Amino acid sequence: MVGGGIAGATAALHLAELGIKVDLIEKKDSLVSGPPICHLHAGGNLYREISVEQCLDLLHQSIESVRLYPHTLNRRPTLIVVPNSDGGDPEALLPRLEQIRSAYQQLVDQDPRNCVLGQPEQYFKLYSKAELVALKHHKQPLKPESYDEWVIPFAQHADLDSIKYPVVAVNEYGWSVFRIAASAMLVLENSPQCHVRVNTRLVNMNWADDQWHLCLEQHQAGEVTKVEQSYDYVINACGFETGIVDDLAQAPRVRMVEFKAAYVTKWQSNTQQWPEVIFHGPRGTENGMAQLTPYANSVFQLHGMTKDITLFDDGLVCNSSVSSQPKLPSRLEHKITTGWSESARIERSNKAIKHMSRFVPSYDSAVEFGTPLFGAQQIPGKDETLRAADVSFAGQHYARVEVVKGSSALEAVKKIAEHWHLASNVDLSVEDAHPHVLSLTEEQVVAKAKLLAKQRGYPQELAEVYGY
Ligand SMILES: Cc1cc2nc3c(=O)[nH]c(=O)nc-3n(C[C@H](O)[C@H](O)[C@H](O)COP(=O)(O)OP(=O)(O)OC[C@H]3O[C@@H](n4cnc5c(N)ncnc54)[C@H](O)[C@@H]3O)c2cc1C
């Protein structure tokens, strides 16, 4: 397994739990430290442009991912809001929501363990303006549970005259990248089946005598050691750098890569527990979508789908005919390898705060709160709106895990195990197939997640459990 992001770590974990010997090769010093993951996308409702099929794939994959990583959810709803500045009609979302709800009901009927997003009949709820105005006068309980209780701060602080109705509340939960990293690392570092080789970079590979021969560079205490190692199968899970390994394996593939960033802010004057809120808007314009993702202690992550907040000039690139690796502009590559200048961080964070305060005016008192969450993600093929993707195979014993959303990782490796006939027990339930990860406690996962957040320079709140 080359690459220890959510795709490679989940794949290694699944195969190791099936009893297969795996080497997990990761060039960085820890696992799952790629681009951010804050939202589970259980139903794909953030994306108006994707097909119902993609929404249903994301729903199913998200449910399986929650069953695999049970301590990684932030259970609070998401509000989907169409502002007057957007050309869309909120009523247009409703038939698709109903289809997703009914698919969720079927999954729960098939197996009650799929009931991880609340009761199916309560998958979503609609709010009229009159209902929101009535909620303005309510006091939020300390531990909000019902939709109405979560919606109170939105009703009190959002500009209710600048949005269309109904507003949709849906049980799309938050997903903690630090607790996913913690869960995977706790299991893989103690697995007799998996050898985790961090600080190790794949630099070359060739196929001969029915095996892949890999050339690895191990970095330790400033020294670089070259190691040759042979394997029966290679899985390329290198995220936005998948194309570099495709070039080494001579397995060409068409793909795109997109660089994006989200900003960490603190809203000191807030005393309430917010749901996630999505204010839709045309991507790449000054009215682009604004996303408010809540964490503990009034820390909020912001996305703003404008060119000077989350998106970047020339941030979406395709590969060329000579290489499977799309080439980002060097100023964006530089951000990935060496980080952000303070001025760029402050400027974009402040723009994100201003963008959010168009819809939630009191948000203008929030302040930037550290390093942005950022990175590049791959999108296989040529459709930049693709959100549910998993695996492709090429040549001899070579596969690529190509996820756009983190929740597709488990599905991808299950397809690999089946395609290569790696295990006979592929029909086991998620719980029966992964006894080690399922034996972790919330305390273990949170403690490790907080440590990882600290080591990576992010506030502890991003690792804590938020919601009910
Ligand atoms: C701003 C932003 C917000 C996002 N929000 C969400 C969200 O809310 N929910 C969601 O599900 N998804 C979200 N995504 C997408 C998600 O982050 C990615 O899809 C996911 O992280 C991809 O995981 P991966 O394992 O494929 O890649 P990565 O996490 O990039 O992992 C690839 C790994 O391979 C390693 N590697 C590369 N080359 C080599 C080599 N030669 N040798 C050894 N190791 C190598 C890298 O060091 C890296 O650790 C977001 C993305 C961005 C940019």
Q: List beta partners, residue 368.
A: 265
Beta bridge partner(s), residue 74 = 174
Instruction: Tell me how far the alpha carbon of residue 409 lies from the centroid of ligand 1, in angstroms.
Output: 11
Tell me which of 68, 217, 241 to substitute to probe ligand 1's pocket, judged by most ligand atoms within 8 Å of the beta carbon: 241
Residue nearest to atom 38 of ligand 1 (CA): 238
Tokens 């021969």 correspond to: 213
Alpha carbons 409 and 430: distance in angstroms, whole number: 13
Minimum-distance ligand 1 atom for the alpha carbon of 239: 27
Q: Do 236 and 401 meet the contact criterion of CB atoms below 8 Å apart?
A: yes
Cα–Cα distance measured from residue 66 to residue 183, given in angstroms and rounded to the nearest whole number: 12
Q: How far is the CA of 130 from the centre of ligand 1 (A)?
A: 42
Q: How far is the CA of 163 from the centre of ligand 1 (A)?
A: 34
What torsion do the CA atoms of 188, 294, 39, 157 make, to the nearest 10 degrees?
A: 180
d(CA 64, CA 174): 15
Q: 240 C-alpha to center of ligand 1: Å?
A: 7
- List of residues 6+ apart from 180 with CB closer than 8 A: 6, 32, 37, 69, 72, 406
Ligand 1, closest atom to CA 39? 8
Length of the chain in terms of residues written: 468
Quote the pTM value. 0.98
Exposure string of 169-186, with b = 16+ CB inside 10 Å and e = fewer, is bbbbbbbbbbbbbbbbbb
Q: What is the Å distance from ligand 1's center to 98 Cα?
A: 31
- If you measure from the C-alpha of residue 250 to the centroid of ligand 1, how many angstroms do you get, rounded to a whole number? 22
Cβ-contact 11, 20 below 8 angstroms: no
Residue entry with tokens 């390994």: 245
Query: Which protein residues touch ligand 1 with a CB less than 6 Å away?
Result: 2-8, 25-28, 33-39, 41, 201-202, 237-241, 245, 260-262, 374-375, 377, 403-407
pLDDT 10s digit of each residue in the chain, 468 long? 999 999 999 999 999 999 999 999 999 999 999 999 999 999 999 999 899 999 999 999 999 999 999 999 999 999 999 999 999 999 999 999 999 999 999 999 999 999 999 999 999 999 999 999 999 999 999 999 999 999 999 999 999 999 999 999 999 999 999 999 999 999 999 999 999 999 999 999 999 999 999 999 999 999 999 999 999 999 999 999 999 999 999 999 999 999 999 999 999 999 999 999 999 999 999 999 999 999 999 999 999 999 999 999 999 999 999 999 999 999 999 999 999 999 999 999 999 999 999 999 999 999 999 999 999 999 999 988 888 888 999 989 999 999 999 999 999 999 999 999 998 777 899 999 999 999 999 999 999 999 999 999 999 999 999 998
- Residue 114 CA to chain centroid, in angstroms? 20
Determine which residue's CA is closest to atom 5 belonging to ligand 1: 37
- Residues 31 and 189 sit within 8 Å (Cβ to Cβ): no
* Ligand 1 center to 5 CA (angstroms): 5
For a mutational test of ligand 1's pocket, the pick from 23, 27, 410, i.e. the residue with the most ligand atoms closer than 8 A to its C-beta, is 27
Ligand 1 pocket test target in 37, 256, 333 with most atoms within 8 Å of CB: 37
Collapsed DSSP state (helix, strand, coil) of residue 374: strand
Ligand 1 atom nearest to CA at 38? 8
Atom of ligand 1 nearest to the CA of 10: 25
Gap from CA of 402 to ligand 1 centroid (Å): 10
CA of 375 to the centre of ligand 1 (A): 7
Atom from ligand 1 closest to the CA of residue 374:
1
Best mutation site among 176, 234, 238 for ligand 1 pocket (most ligand atoms within 8 Å of CB): 238
Collapse the DSSP code of 222 into the 3-class scheme (helix H, G, I; strand E, B; otherwise coil) and give the result: coil
- Give the residue, by CA position, lying nearest to ligand 1 atom 7: 37
128 Cα to the center of ligand 1, angstroms: 38
